[in-house]
Structure 1
């Protein structure tokens, strides 16, 4: 049944693609191509991260190649290797890869500044059936630089609150809906003598910066405004201070050395009442082979601050087109296919959270996720903020500057260190 369904999806997509490319006329043109296979003879180079989405797409490629006539070569790399490969090839003005997975928040501004990727605005308008407006607003925002769209979202992440159902029920504590309620609940459930901590999250210098973003946004601030850092505004300071307080007063030992694997590990081992991070990490807490509290994990929307609940709602991975590609129309045909409603549904059913609202509204699109998590994700997709890092060219440097100050607040090394961040350009 699964095989039949996949074939049906691909066949339907192929028919739509053929229609968009000129119908079923099989007459040859001078290049030897046929109208029903407009890219016959073309070779397309695709580079992906080692990611489940890439694995899912590779399984579907033969049908795409058959319907379009093109040959697609796919190479996959670990994230660091991918970043290095892209930097080397794009710096050298290589025409390959034609299409690649990229991290918009880490790379978009730099890649645009260097002229490495192609704006996709005109392509998104060519085919009404593509229904570009179906993508969540925030996911497109993550791929937008200076008002132009440079990538199509394929994997999204939202900041949510994980919690222990059994602990809250036993203590008679409601799921926190505000920052103040989260602080109070974490305090009540914090019991270091019995290795139970109120809150777990990232404490590593660079890793924590994406996590403080939602705390800042929910208080009404951001990293930047008009090209200047705004992380020393009262709203930003309050958000970062809340995060630092949760980890300083109610966090586990060694939190300054924790990125997400270590932090969710504490939660999964039953040693923390709350964990805040991306929803994409959920299997680390719900898989019985990895978690001691798999059947007690709850999911909630990010707690509200003065500005309401404003978690990051981002594109973690997108597809971009090489500005030097000699096969731009063929490259777009692949991007359009890979991000179509039918293929997004197929990849999301394998656990890859996409950006199309219609797929999240489709019961089939949520089968790979716990019911409560699917509901929280669908609601968060409607709003949130489209970035979780400072929107600058030198993201790593900015993360180090901010992270170092927040770490001092977490460790209690210096009194009110967050206020030392100056309102200057990163």
Structure 2
């Protein structure tokens, strides 16, 4: 996920994937779907993007599209928090886009909404981060081309830690202690986001567990995760957590404005942190929760999908191949010129000069050492079930075991629907 406009939330996007069929009533993108023209070929395509927050992103995507000479490619740049509702509503109408960005979700594959892109990815598959192939694969077929990888970790101000006599935390207990020592006056020790949702999966991984195992069975209901939830409750009630920031975790403003000493955020925000704080900025992964656990980094990101129900499937696939597979110069530009992201192509990631030294290089190292990627089988209903666990147990102080039992029922129901 990239740094985005202030009312954006990646999780709200994912909610839409669960409700494809229910979105029809919202189909209101207007009749101006940009299909006029077509350049010298007379052919045209429409692509949907959410409004990235980094300056220059809209201009960049439109510049790439303009350079394509086989069709006139129009970009719908959708601002505000309604990207997902507009996208999924419009996919059900005659104004549906030919291609769109989103995250790997198995419902899109099962409903026949996204085209199989194996034929265009296979020749270069070995140049992609293997996890970016796995997270887009269902039954041996690859759906979607990853455009950027977005690791998320803690940013902190070394000067504040030094002043408080605090070392960089390596365990969740140490993070809680550090947050207490760093809380002074109006400055809170730590910011995890206003709803805490961003750290649910990292906490599970750092407890030595996972969302699902390789057989698509529940893997998050462990003693370590229960212990982690209890520690998160302790942190939540400590008074050391910033809970009402003007913008959410993906925006660097909480740390940049001095509202906290440590903030969970994404690599995309590194240039903004550096611009404001200079060299007084460092990063560390989500620390281990239990002795059996180990640090973790969530690798989000965005991928390009072709609408399998569109009128121009082959043409859209040609464009996706041209831009996101053949045009390495544009791929590097997209990943490193507007905030820092890691190119999913190994060859580009290795040659990207902006990621070779300093803080970006440290981010890449954490990504490679501790990274976890999206599981295409982990659906929005499952995501919501664990968000409910946090609401019940971390915010309200309920019993974590009982809350996980409740989540298990929802997740099991979803798994039966998807995998039998």
Structure 2 match to 1:134: 127
Cα–Cα, structure 1 residues 395 and 414, in superposed 2: closer, same or farther, change >3 Å? closer
Change beyond 3 A, Cα 1:95–1:189: closer
User: Match of 1:153, SS?
Assistant: strand
Q: Do structure 1's residue 414 and structure 2's residue 381 form an aligned pair?
A: no
2:312 maps to 1:311: no
1:147-178 alpha-carbon deviations (Å, 9 max, x no partner): 53211111322121211110222344332233
Partner of 2:143: 150
Q: Is 1:161–1:277's contact at 8 Å kept on the other side of the alignment?
A: yes
Q: Does 1:301 align with 2:285?
A: yes
Residue 80 to residue 272, structure 1, CA distance change in 2 (3 Å)? closer
Structure 1: how far apart are the matches of 2:354 and 2:365? Answer: 11
Residue 16 of structure 2 corresponds to which residue in structure 1?
A: none
Distance change (3 Å), C-alpha of 1:221 and 1:242: same
1:100 paired to 2:100: yes
C-alpha change, 1:396 and 1:425, in structure 2 (3 Å) is closer
- Equivalent of residue 255 in structure 2, options 267, 272, 285: 267
Q: Residues 360-402 of structure 1: CA distance to partner in whole angstroms, max 9, x if unpaired?
A: 32243438xx821333234414652112898125356435523
Given the two structures, how large is their TM-score scaled by the length of structure 1? 0.73
Any unmatched runs of 5+ in structure 1?
A: 1-38
- SS at 1:421's partner residue? helix
| 1:118 counterpart = 2:107 | no
Structure 2: stretches of 5+ with no match in the other structure: 1-39, 412-420
Q: 1:213 aligns with which of 196, 201, 219?
A: 201
For normalisation by structure 2, the TM-score amounts to 0.74
Compute the displacement of 1:73 (Å).
2.1
CA RMSD of aligned residues (A): 3.2
Q: Which residue of 2 aligns with 1:176?
A: 169
* Contact 1:110–1:393 under 8 Å retained in 2: no
Matched, 1:371 2:358: yes
Report how many aligned residue pairs link the two structures: 360
Partners of 2:384 and 2:204 lie apart in 1 by 19
- Asked whether the equivalents of residues 98 and 327 of structure 1 are also in contact (C-alpha less than 8 Å), the reply is yes
Is 1:391 matched with 2:378? yes
Q: Distance between the aligned counterparts of 1:155 and 1:178, measured in 2? A: 29
For the structure 1 residues 256 and 266, does the alpha-carbon distance in structure 2 shift closer, same or farther, using more than 3 Å as the test?
A: closer
Question: Do the aligned partners of 2:45 and 2:74 also contact (CA within 8 Å) in 1?
Answer: yes
Cα deviation, 1:195-245, whole Å, max 9, x if unaligned, reads 3332221242xxx22312111101111234566655442122233333333
Cα distance in 1 for partners of 2:48, 2:397 equals: 45
Q: Structure 1 278/246 Cα, relative in aligned 2: closer, same or farther at 3 Å?
A: farther
- 1:176-195 superposed Cα distances (whole Å, 9 cap, x missing partner): 2333433333333334xx23
Q: Return closer, same or farther for 1:209/1:75 CA change in 2, 3 Å cut-off.
A: same
Q: Return the alpha-carbon distance in structure 1 between the equivalents of residues 41 and 76 of structure 2.
A: 21
Once residues 233 and 214 of structure 1 are traced to their aligned partners in structure 2, the CA distance between those partners, rounded to angstroms, is: 15
